[in-house]
Amino acid sequence: MHHLASDAPRLIRHYIAGEFVGSDRSFVKTSPVDGRPLATVCEAGADQVQDAVAVARAALNGPWGKLKTAERCAMLHRIADGIERRFDDFVAAEVADTGRPVSQARTLDIARGIANFRTFADLARTAHGELFQTPTADGAGALNYVVRKPLGVVAVISPWNLPLLLLTWKVAPALAMGNTVVAKPSEETPSSAALLAEVIDEAGLPPGVFNLLHGFGPDSTGEFLTRHPDLAAITFTGESRTGSTIMKAAADGVKDVSFELGGKNAAVVFADADFDAALDGVMRSTFTNAGQVCLCSERVYVERPIFEKFVAAMKARTEALRLGYPDDDGVAMGPLVSQGHRAKVLSYYRLAVEEGAKVVTGGGVPHFGDARDQGAFVQPTIWTGLPDHARCMREEVFGPVCHIAPFDTEDEAIRRANDSDYGLAACVWTTNLARAHRVAQQFHTGIAWVNTWFLRDLRSPFGGAKLSGLGREGGRHSLDFYSEITNICIKL
């Protein structure tokens, strides 16, 4: 990297039973910015997976299981404090692994990691269960009330696109509800998870409560973990195909699963929208994190009277985006996460042309004339002219690209937005209040934004429909998922 990477690759180890341990096998994590080696990462084999699950299971009956909710939540606040104390270390780790601009890591990734622990600690401490007064034949009645108890050992498998944010989004509520955790981050982004293990160790959680394993998915750490019979639940964010594979593994033990999977999200821009606000919003929802966010808008539908103007404005804004080193002033977009992912995105760039797309801008690889040419950069790209049935309109690219198409009526816009195998998120841009409510409620998605994007309240439900996932996280939805819910009935 430009200024932030250390010269000597470091060793990233597992965290099992309160100890940092190595492995016989390892792999090298390289920089997506310039291809240099960043770290040697240990790869957990089946025996280490077995050890981690065993100590996590044992920890349920140790001191952790005897703590009151308020005491657990105080520990979560200590973890948040620890991340805050090492804020710059976390920023450097996240930026090194992903290549994203420092400004994004500081304002989004690490800040949300801290907020996740604090939010779920406070929610768990103040959550109340349901209580029902039930009439009985003798007139005395009964009381029914609900209590939440830990599920057991929870496997947390998190992706590479928002590494700390999405790992803590699951670890925090799992711990808040008294579970123990075995976490596996993506092999592409091990660094911030390793730092989190250090912070958790310093926060004084009993050994075995949180365990961290590094490695790959199929025939490696991830598969060994998801097939383990002693898990109570598996929570996963990532590709829909991987979610399907994990679901099959979980079926044998009838384990609870929560999946946040892919998206091919639509943004609908009506002619009455605030043009500049819609332009700003669609730029953000297309190119944030080089398009590597499950919530990004890859399909943009613009009402015909403003279609040409909108495409021209998007083209100008896109060509003004600055690509470069994460800590360069004014850099708007970094590389993709890896050479492998770049090959996938570039294959869609080629496919779009084969399918008849007009490339408004981009469509290739930038040339820097320095070490960045060894990185995983691609050009931010806009297409028009594809039919809705084209593969590039139906398959998730997960890169800095959108297709912009005109529409003529509200019903047409809703129908085309919903014409997808995915159902994660959608945006509508309009100044007509009635239309905003009407359209948003007709999207077949878990999330619908009106005149904004990526605005989240951590208490609200988060998740998708169709191929985009199973279950909801956030607020009480997370507390419910990470709990065994028991109804107690008392005859009066």
Looking at 130-198, which runs of residues are DSSP E strands?
A: 131-134, 142-150, 153-157, 180-184
CB 79 within 8 A of CB 117: yes
User: In this structure, which amino acid lies at residue 381?
Assistant: T
pLDDT at 2: 52
Our answer to whether residue 84 is catalytic in this structure is no
**Per the residue annotation, which of 73, 294, 392, 402 is the catalytic one?**
294
| CB count in 10 Å sphere of residue 448 | 18
Average pLDDT, the chain: 96
CA 241 to chain centre: 16
**Per the residue annotation, which of 188, 260, 298, 303 is the catalytic one?**
260
> Which residues share a beta bridge with 154?
181, 233
Rounded to whole angstroms, the Cα distance separating 100 from 82 reads 23
CB 419 within 8 A of CB 393: no
CA 103 to chain centre: 19
Class of the 10-261+468-491 domain? alpha beta
CATH superfamily of 265-457: Aldehyde Dehydrogenase; Chain A, domain 2 (3.40.309.10)
Rounded to whole angstroms, the Cα distance separating 380 from 365 reads 9
Q: What is the dihedral of CA 183, 189, 193, 194, to 10 degrees?
A: 110
pLDDT at 1: 44
User: In this structure, which amino acid lies at residue 66?
Assistant: K
pLDDT at 475: 94
Q: Quick: pLDDT tens for 49-104.
A: 999 999 999 999 999 999 999 999 999 999 999 999 999 999 999 999 999 999 99
pLDDT band at residue 254, thresholds of 50, 70 and 90? confident
Rounded to whole angstroms, the Cα distance separating 335 from 326 reads 9
What mean pLDDT comes out for the span 480-488? 96
Task: Find tokens 């770049």 and name the residue.
Answer: 342
Q: Where are the domains of the chain?
A: 10-261+468-491, 265-457
pLDDT band at residue 252, thresholds of 50, 70 and 90? confident
Does the pLDDT of residue 9 top 90, yes or no? no
pLDDT at 7: 58
Higher-confidence position of 6 and 106: 106
Lowest mean pLDDT among 1-10, 65-74, 213-222, 401-410: 1-10
What mean pLDDT comes out for the span 264-281? 98
Q: Which two tokens stand for residue 214?
A: 């590094």
Strands 233-237 and 153-157, how do they pair?
parallel
Q: Is 336 helix (H, G, I), strand (E, B) or coil?
A: coil
Rounded to whole angstroms, the Cα distance separating 364 from 379 reads 6
pLDDT at 313: 98
What mean pLDDT comes out for the span 170-197? 98
pLDDT at 128: 84
Q: Quick: pLDDT tens for 275-288.
A: 999 999 999 999 99
pLDDT at 375: 98
Higher-confidence position of 252 and 389: 389
Does the pLDDT of residue 444 top 70, yes or no? yes
Strands 233-237 and 256-260, how do they pair?
parallel
pLDDT at 129: 85
What mean pLDDT comes out for the span 379-404? 98
Our answer to whether residue 73 is catalytic in this structure is no
Does the pLDDT of residue 394 top 50, yes or no? yes
Rounded to whole angstroms, the Cα distance separating 345 from 123 reads 39
Angle between helices 163-176 and 110-126 (to 10 degrees): 20
